Amino acid sequence: MEGIVEGAVAQSAGRVRITAKLIYAKTDLHLWRRSYERNLSDVLALEDEVARAIAREIRINVTAQVQGRLNSASAVNPEVYQLYLKGRFFLERRTEEAMKKGLERFEEALQKDPNSALAYSGLADSHGLLGSFNFLPPKEPYPKVHAAAMKALELEDTLAEAHLALADSVDGLEEQEKHFKRAIELNPGYAAAHHWYSRYLSTMGRLDEALKEIQRAQESDPLSLISNDNVGEVYGWARQYDKAIEQLRETLEMDPNFARTHLDLGVTYEYKGMFDEAIAEFQKARELGGENWPELRAPLQRAYEASGYRGYYQEQLRLLKELSKRSYVAPVSIAMIYAQLGDKESAFTWLEKANRDQTSLFFIKVEPVYDSMRSDPRFRDLLHRAGLRD
């Protein structure tokens, strides 16, 4: 039988109510409906009670691992938990401003409860995202990521969120994969664990596996904008550009103002040689705050109108180098522009600088922009030194 579980949550005066429904998808027949209500402080136990009830109703076997997780629910401070959820909401937006707001919410949560493992996991993820999106110098965030993840693990060593956060900061690719898998083992329905494991697999060039993992994330949380976006991104890395464009457009139907998807759609158009469409999406992303260089928008538009896409990229190089005198600009951002312009020597220069500075080179193994450089022995050597053996 093909069934769908629907749920609704209502909160009032310190109480929370969850209403769950089981629906037969083919006919929209409601097979089962029940409401559950508790104090906000028991919200985790309430979630587990609902999960058990649904498992019983659809007659699935709950593994010992999941059973143990359901039995481990403890009381939470409602205010702390809400701050944690708000922090996660802001991280999902993937803009610099939103991620910093998320960081602030986790810090507020820890001020109210210094022993919140969840809040520490969120703190680690905030620092990690700010670093991986090159909004901070590369050496700055990762000691903070590691410290916060280790604290979360110390407080609750079976917390999937803690293992996921730690995966971003441990040394060694095998060690990273171990923590991704442990997070999924502890909570198989945790969308973010599948999401980040997909990113790791993409980094390693294991794109078939990466696509399966990001699709699992999408299935676990179908309303997650970033998971839907990253399905399209993985299609792009796999050179399935039409599928990527279709998926990214569907993501924008969910939220036309999601800056990250405008950026990724622009990149995909660029790979297909659809430069007018690409530039329009890049400019829209900047308008919505999808990059940390919004002041580039107007001069870049003028450059494109005057000199086409090459003029656009040449102006972007000039502006980024000027901006780097005042704030951090990741060397890999400049390397990608040189690669797009076909200036291989300059691209290598900036990739070497990125590697020396420990800037993220995570996706150079799969990014199509570097395809013309892959046969060069220097590129294979760079992959090797970055720990991404070809």
Distance of alpha carbon 46 from its chain centroid, rounded?
28
Q: How far apart are CA 189 and CA 354, in angstroms?
A: 36
Q: Which one is predicted more confidently, 85 or 173?
A: 85
Q: What does the mean pLDDT of the chain come to?
A: 85
210: Cβ contacts below 8 Å, ≥ 6 apart: 198, 199, 201, 202, 234, 237
Residue 185 has pLDDT above 80, yes or no: yes
Q: Which one is predicted more confidently, 280 or 74?
A: 280
Q: At what angle do helices 241-254 and 225-237 cross, to 10 degrees?
A: 170
- Torsion, Cα of 334, 335, 338, 343 (10° steps): 150
Least confident among 147-161, 203-217, 226-240, 316-330: 316-330
Region 171-186: what's the mean pLDDT?
A: 91
Residue 13 has pLDDT above 70, yes or no: no
Collapse the DSSP code of 210 into the 3-class scheme (helix H, G, I; strand E, B; otherwise coil) and give the result: helix
Which residues, in sequence order, are bridge partners of residue 23? 4, 30
Residue 390 has pLDDT above 60, yes or no: no
Kindly report whether the global pTM for this prediction surpasses the value 0.75: yes
Predicted confidence band of residue 297 (pLDDT cuts 50, 70, 90): confident
Structure confidence at residue 71 (pLDDT) = 52
Structure confidence at residue 318 (pLDDT) = 92
Which residues, in sequence order, are bridge partners of residue 218? none
Least confident among 144-153, 262-271, 351-360: 351-360
> Rg for the chain (alpha carbons), in Å?
22
Predicted confidence band of residue 387 (pLDDT cuts 50, 70, 90): confident
Q: How far apart are CA 229 and CA 233, in angstroms?
A: 6
Structure confidence at residue 48 (pLDDT) = 64
Region 229-255: what's the mean pLDDT?
A: 97
Least confident among 146-150, 330-334, 359-363: 359-363
Task: Spell out the SS3 assignment of 338-369.
Answer: HHHHCCHHHHHHHHHHHHHCCCCCCCCCCCHH
Domains of the chain: 3-74 (no CATH), 77-187 (1.25.40.10), 201-292 (1.25.40.10), 329-390 (no CATH)
Residue length of the chain: 390
Backbone angles phi, psi at 363, to 5 degrees: -110, 15
Q: Please report the sign of the dihedral spanned by the C-alpha atoms of residue 227, residue 53, residue 153, residue 147.
A: positive
Residue with tokens 């700010």: 130
Structure confidence at residue 1 (pLDDT) = 47
Residue range 89-129, pLDDT digits in tens: 999 988 888 999 999 999 999 999 999 999 999 999 999 99
- Torsion, Cα of 231, 232, 237, 238 (10° steps): 80
Region 115-144: what's the mean pLDDT?
A: 88
Region 74-93: what's the mean pLDDT?
A: 86
Distance of alpha carbon 252 from its chain centroid, rounded?
16
Q: How far apart are CA 129 and CA 260, in angstroms?
A: 13
Q: How far apart are CA 99 and CA 92, in angstroms?
A: 8
How many CB atoms sit inside 10 A of residue 10's CB? 11
Which residues, in sequence order, are bridge partners of residue 3? 24
Residue range 22-57, pLDDT digits in tens: 675 566 666 667 766 666 656 666 566 666 666 665
Region 124-150: what's the mean pLDDT?
A: 87
Q: What percent of the chain has pLDDT over 90?
A: 56
Q: Which one is predicted more confidently, 17 or 72?
A: 17
Residue 5 has pLDDT above 70, yes or no: no
How many CB atoms sit inside 10 A of residue 323's CB? 15
Amino acid sitting at position 7:
G
Of 110, 108, 152, 158, whose CA–CA distance to 128 is shortest? 152
Residue 256 has pLDDT above 50, yes or no: yes
Q: Are 82 and 111 in contact (CB under 8 A)?
A: no
Predicted confidence band of residue 244 (pLDDT cuts 50, 70, 90): very high
Backbone angles phi, psi at 26, to 5 degrees: -70, -35
170: Cβ contacts below 8 Å, ≥ 6 apart: 146, 176, 179
Residue range 343-369, pLDDT digits in tens: 999 999 999 998 887 666 778 999 999
